[in-house]
Amino acid sequence: MSRLEGRPVVRPPKQLRLHRALEELGWTGAIDEFNEVTQSKDQSVPKPILITTDGTILVGLGRWRSALFDDLHEINCIEYPLSEEEAVQFIISRHQPQRGWNDFVRICLALTLEPYFQQRAVDNMRAGGRHKGSTNLSEADCIDVRQEIAKVAGTGTGNVSKVKAIMQSSHRSIIVGLQNGLLRIHRAWLWCKLSKLQQKEEFARYEEERFRRKIMRQFSVEHSDRSLDPAQTIEVLQREEARQPGFLAIRTSRSRRTVLVLGQDLLAKLDAHKEINFLA
């Protein structure tokens, strides 16, 4: 059997497991996998789960979880004879185009291969007769290792170095934000110089501003030089709510600031209120 060819097998779902690298990362990438489960249930023959010979799941996390939930006794799989390091590369390559498997997640997984690539570099160094018996890599060899990691992750070497720094000194909320695509690698890397408490506070401010912009886009609010009298606005709001209970739609948010969004209907009522006061 070629190493690029799989063998159809039937395995109990309880005998399958996550790859160790995914468990350590604490992220399963099952966002789109569950959508795939819904689609596969409509098929007469569901897609098989791709696994290694020792039962490590390569592709099909959502289908595996669904099988466990449904208490299935067996599930169709395709088995590949891959080592742990080869399995990581297989997982990244097969999920790279999918939403949710962003640069940060792929780099974190690829970084678990660093000892593997370092050992290969040492072996090549010894085979070439350079520094026999030495285990210390030169700067050039270290760069080669970083390039191999970047190649597997499908990203640049600069981001590999930044993610290493992030994983060493970032607050857990920053890691989760990067996994979920709420943060860019460069921004999180800049925060690495701060204490973990300061990082958490910066992230909270960033989320608040991000949420505010989202609300503004949702209601198509445009910046305007028009100023409104708070007292008149409150008066009109109270009058309209008394006249039409439920006129006001109140929603809560995670933002620390209170933002009042006025619709065109209320703006027209405010203009009419101003004209009445002016005539009076």
pTM (predicted TM-score): 0.70
Angle of helix 139-153 relative to helix 114-127, nearest 10 degrees, comes to 130
Strands, E, within the chain: which ranges? 7-11, 49-52, 57-59, 75-80
Quick: pLDDT tens for 206-227: 988 888 777 766 655 455 556 6
Strand 75-80 and strand 7-11: the pairing is antiparallel
Give dist(CA 108, CA 22) in Å, integer.
9
Residue 278 confidence class, pLDDT cut points 50, 70, 90: very low
Residue 120 confidence class, pLDDT cut points 50, 70, 90: confident
pLDDT at 262 over 90: no
Quick: pLDDT tens for 76-89: 999 999 999 999 99
**H or E segment and range at residue 160:** helix 157-169
Give dist(CA 33, CA 36) in Å, integer.
5
Task: Find out whether 160 and 112 touch, Cβ atoms under 8 Å.
Answer: no
Residue 1 confidence class, pLDDT cut points 50, 70, 90: very low
Average pLDDT value for residue range 93-106: 84
Give the Å distances, CA to CA, from 246 to 117, 249, 252, 258, 261.
64, 7, 16, 20, 16
Quick: pLDDT tens for 225-237: 566 777 878 887 8
Give the Å distances, CA to CA, from 197 to 205, 216, 223.
13, 29, 34
Give dist(CA 170, CA 98) in Å, integer.
26
Give dist(CA 58, CA 72) in Å, integer.
19
